[in-house]
Structure 1
Amino acid sequence: MTKPDIPEMDAMIALAARFEAAVKADPALEGAELGEMLRHVPGKRAICRGTVQGRECIWRVFHSPQDGVAGREWVELQRVHAGMRDDDHTVNAPLYHAPEFGLVAVEFIAGTPLMALVWQSPLEEREALIIPAARWLRRYTESSESWWPAKPEGWLKRAERAAAKQPFSKLHRLERPILAELARLLPRIEGLDWRTAICHGDFHPNNLIVDGARMTGIDNGGSARMPIYKDMARFLMHMGRRGLIPSGSRVLGVDGAMIEAFSETFAMTEAERRLILPFMLGIEALIRVEHADMTRSRVRRAHAMYEALLEDLRKI
């Protein structure tokens, strides 16, 4: 039997006590409940099911209310929701915020996570299911997009630091030549402009919930300004390292049809499509280091993705 993680249990007890204090302090929280914990990021926050003002919600309970993170997320949630609530590309609505207690509640969204939906669908239907994600991301970023001088060197250094922590020698042997290819591309990107925006920050298919034609983004609010290609690379690599290629066409280790969907939806320039996005795909591949307890099948799929990525990077 796994021993309880005492520090984590203590943290959750403290968060529950803080939630109860908030309920007592604010009449608007009468009847509110903090339910099942869905995810815990030690030292940062817990994500829980619950209710607020008679509605099902997701609670984001922050460990350190005084650091202002909850307030910044609340502002960003409101900004994005104002522009993404009137069609089939939406975000969940912000419902409640108590800055002094580090609490944020957002609407609970019923439906199926996009990746789960794709996996359970027939092969011939998968590409059509995944393509609308490009339009969702475009809606999210378009109000804050702007062009800035490209700064790829910092991203490459981040990838180098992450690659040094790779626990699987089979993958580490491929990461070194991938880093070499990214270093080769770097001078061709420096001097260019690239597009930045306030991005999602963790844009992967399980953070999109599908209900019929409606696609709702969740886990928003922790956004920051960065190159728009980072969110695309996160989405593509999340699928690629799991061997999910909905169109059946693998390019740069990931789904080729989805690369085209992002390229067309964002009206990418030739430099963005042929140089900057491939560079960022390589960066994303390396900064998501596999955990030491990863299954052999996951490592095998990641290895196949690395090989395909490296082969195509060498052609650029």
Structure 2
Amino acid sequence: MSRIEKSNLDLYPEAARVAQGALEHAATTALRGRDHSIGDALHIVPERHAVFRGALEGRQAAFRLALSEASREDLAREWGELTRAWEHMSAPPLTTPKPLAFSDAEGLMVTARASGEGLLSHLWRIEAAERAPLIALSADWLRKYTAPTEELRAPNRRPWRRWAEEAAARQPHEALREAEARVLQKMKKLYRQIDLPEWRVVLAHGDFHLNNLFWDGKTLTGIDLGGTGHAPLYKDIARALVHMARRGMLPSGKRRFGVDEEAFEAYAETFSLSETETNGFLPYFIAYETLIKVEHPEMPRARLDHAQEMTEALFADLKAIT
């Protein structure tokens, strides 16, 4: 279930205080005399992880501490992915944070801190006409990130449909639940239409959206690479498009499968999507990303309205192709 967009540091001040003490101990042990300092908390998910700003040997850094054994395993995977990606993502303007230090024993990872602000936040501050080039740049970042691992595999469509159906049943908002039920029926029809021998699979980002890309005016840096695992490349694309649309980010003022039409086309062009991918696989994952999002019972009305409008527009376009 999604949480209302309020600083989670406000929601969990005591957890942040405890995590800072644990981080200071872990950093002292893991970094063994290397000059470092710990600053303010940036983010915390209780019993999972905490992120703090700081510095390591004069470089602005982000310190990420695992808060459970399961999260330590996630952190180790994220470190492995970060070091893998750095080999081909170190050159601006499309980058990932530089890996600086890691301790499996202490559950600690330190990376260079991404400069700038989340790209989606930046888009809200500029004119609509200026947004399209930056959205296209986000597609370029994802293409660069995924290209080295892309391969063709036989599709495994069933789990995505099942997970979407299970999530849709938990949607607490009646009008949205009814709209999602209609989308689910079309997703099932589309499932039968895309029974094809192969689709493109990559080592996916896992949580790809525009606020996990930091923009400083020159360089776009991808963060939060913890979702390492093979997935159809369409999932990361769909995640970004749905995340924007669910927040009312529609620079073109037009929709395609519920999301911004120009953003949809920018990603389709960057990834050279075929007709089957454009009107089959990608809409299938847009439906998945729409249904998998179970909104908080107290989600603000404006956010619910955006979700409702996107879902109904998605249904209309799915109806046209199924």
So what's the TM-score if we normalise by structure 1?
Answer: 0.92
Describe the shift of the 1:244–1:25 C-alpha distance in structure 2 as closer, same or farther (beyond 3 A).
Answer: closer
Deviation at 1:182, TM superposition (A): 0.3
1:256 aligns with 2:267: no
Match of 2:49 in 1: 45
1:213 aligns with 2:218: yes
Moved more, 169-178 or 66-75: 66-75
- Once residues 293 and 301 of structure 1 are traced to their aligned partners in structure 2, the CA distance between those partners, rounded to angstroms, is 15
Deviation at 1:156, TM superposition (A): 0.6
Q: Match of 2:126, as an amino acid?
A: S
Match of 2:251 in 1: 246
**Matching of residues 52-131 of structure 1 within 5 Å:** 52-65=56-69, 67-131=72-136
- Once residues 80 and 158 of structure 1 are traced to their aligned partners in structure 2, the CA distance between those partners, rounded to angstroms, is 29
Task: Report if the CA contact (8 A) 1:189-1:276 is conserved.
Answer: yes
Deviation at 1:19, TM superposition (A): 2.6
Task: Report if the CA contact (8 A) 1:50-1:56 is conserved.
Answer: yes
Deviation at 1:248, TM superposition (A): 2.1
- Once residues 67 and 40 of structure 2 are traced to their aligned partners in structure 1, the CA distance between those partners, rounded to angstroms, is 17
Question: Match of 1:106, SS?
Answer: strand
The aligned length equals: 312
Question: Match of 1:80, SS?
Answer: helix
1:134 aligns with 2:139: yes
Q: Match of 1:238, as an amino acid?
A: H
Which whole-Å deviations, capped at 9, do the CAs of 1:130-187 have from their partners, x for residues lacking one? 1111111000100011111111111011001111111110100101110000000111
Match of 2:308 in 1: 303
Describe the shift of the 1:11–1:122 C-alpha distance in structure 2 as closer, same or farther (beyond 3 A).
Answer: closer
Deviation at 1:39, TM superposition (A): 1.8
Q: Match of 1:207, as an amino acid?
A: N
1:178 aligns with 2:188: no
Task: Report if the CA contact (8 A) 1:130-1:246 is conserved.
Answer: no
5+ residue gaps, structure 2: 1-8
Task: Report if the CA contact (8 A) 2:63-2:110 is conserved.
Answer: yes
Q: Match of 1:237, as an amino acid?
A: V
Deviation at 1:71, TM superposition (A): 2.0
State which of 197, 215, 219 in structure 2 corresponds to 1:192. 197
Which whole-Å deviations, capped at 9, do the CAs of 1:205-258 have from their partners, x for residues lacking one? 111111223211111233221111111011000111111111222111101111
Moved more, 162-171 or 31-40: 31-40
So what's the TM-score if we normalise by structure 2?
Answer: 0.91
Deviation at 1:310, TM superposition (A): 0.4
Over aligned residue pairs, what C-alpha RMSD do you find? 2.1
Q: Match of 1:32, as an amino acid?
A: H
Which whole-Å deviations, capped at 9, do the CAs of 1:57-116 have from their partners, x for residues lacking one? 111110135753322211110110110111311111111111100000111122132112
Question: Match of 1:289, SS?
Answer: coil
Which whole-Å deviations, capped at 9, do the CAs of 1:249-293 have from their partners, x for residues lacking one? 211110111111111111112111110100100000010111112
Deviation at 1:28, TM superposition (A): 4.2
Highest RCO, 1 vs 2 (Cα 8 Å, sep ≥ 6): 2
- % identity of equivalent residues: 37
1:33 aligns with 2:41: no
- Once residues 303 and 288 of structure 1 are traced to their aligned partners in structure 2, the CA distance between those partners, rounded to angstroms, is 12
Match of 2:162 in 1: 157
Describe the shift of the 1:125–1:11 C-alpha distance in structure 2 as closer, same or farther (beyond 3 A).
Answer: closer
- Once residues 204 and 220 of structure 2 are traced to their aligned partners in structure 1, the CA distance between those partners, rounded to angstroms, is 17
- Once residues 131 and 18 of structure 2 are traced to their aligned partners in structure 1, the CA distance between those partners, rounded to angstroms, is 44
Match of 2:20 in 1: 16
Moved more, 113-122 or 273-282: 113-122
Match of 2:6 in 1: none
Q: Match of 1:80, as an amino acid?
A: A
